[in-house]
Amino acid sequence: MDALAQPRQLVLPPPYTAHWLPDGSPFEDAQRRAAEEGAGTLVWQQTAGGNGPGRLDFAVVLEPDMPLEDARKAVLVGMVALGDALAAHAPPERDVRFIWPTGVILDAGLLGGMRLAVAPGAEEGTPPDWMVLGVELIADRDHLDQAGENPGSVSLKEEEFTDPPAVVESFAAHLMLNFDRWIHAGFDTIAPHYVGRLTDKAAISDAGERVLDATVESIENGLAKADWRDADGPKL
């Protein structure tokens, strides 16, 4: 992947501070910045495909004021924001869906997903010093001779996203909106928006657990599977 040399500037509301990362992982870089720079730090990167797919990656630092077991629900709130951002910029009739807990399907193909990092030493009963939400999306698949070689995935370019940085801007705005809704009106105002995009018929408990028939799975266990990505990022 080759990083774009001159990305446009993001237009973000306070309290976000954007950092363009020409090389490396925005998810890892945001974790390095988290303790010193704090909430609202947003690291992003857009790369063009060469030997592999192009990517749009971005990560944001959070400082939750609730115990870790509750704060993990931030990743589901983040997924709602990501779904809304993608839907806002996708062409009409493109369906945005979720694979529990953080995989993203667009128009029946895997587009990417979200990761969660928690400050080292965080304990369940106390607020973590920081958390990072990291998004990894396939920006293009120009390295493929034919798109049909990998029919299980899609890219922003193939789905006619003309301004990928606008997805980052919309995500930031929707994240603020949904966090405010979560804090002031409760998680049960967010959960239906998440459930509405799931590919299965699962429900989400007040604790953020996936409930399907007699099976209950925590966010933590779901994240540990991360079956939408491999060591290099979103699966093709």
The highest-level CATH class for domain 2-234 is alpha beta
Residues of the chain with pLDDT under 70: 1-6, 147-148
| Predicted local distance difference test score (pLDDT) of residue 1 | 47
Sorted by where each begins, the domain ranges of the chain are: 2-234
Residue type, 70: D
pLDDT value at position 3? 53
Amino acid present at 132: V
pTM of the model: 0.95
* Residue-level pLDDT at 5: 57
DSSP designation for 149: G
pLDDT of amino acid 4: 59
Q: What is the pLDDT of residue 48?
A: 86
